[in-house]
Amino acid sequence: MLVSKYQRGDTLIEVLLAFSIFTLVAISTFALMNRGINTAQQSLETTLVRQQLDSQAELLRFIHDTKPAIWNEIIKDS
């Protein structure tokens, strides 16, 4: 196989271009992953707050249904 003296390997420009493309793809991937992690964290926090609110509402319903004297004290204070 004959190789021309000008076709020995990749040129510096080709290597820099390939490295630039790889870097761009890597940075884009990391940015996308970071956005996904932030969205998941926000969803988790929202879910935890909703669970706490549901728990407090359930406790208030329980007190209203089973302990009228305590319920009246709560209502009177607010």
Task: Write down the domain spans for the chain.
Answer: 13-77
Across the chain, what does the average pLDDT equal?
A: 91
Phi, psi (degrees; rounded to nearest 5) at 6: -95, -5
So what's the pLDDT on residue 77?
76
Burial degree of 63 (CB within 10 A; 0-12, 13-18, 19+): middle
Higher model confidence: residue 15 or residue 6? 15
pLDDT digits (tens, 9 = 90+) for 23-49: 999 999 999 999 999 999 999 999 999
pTM above 0.75, yes or no: no
Report the SS3 class of residue 41: helix
So what's the pLDDT on residue 10?
78
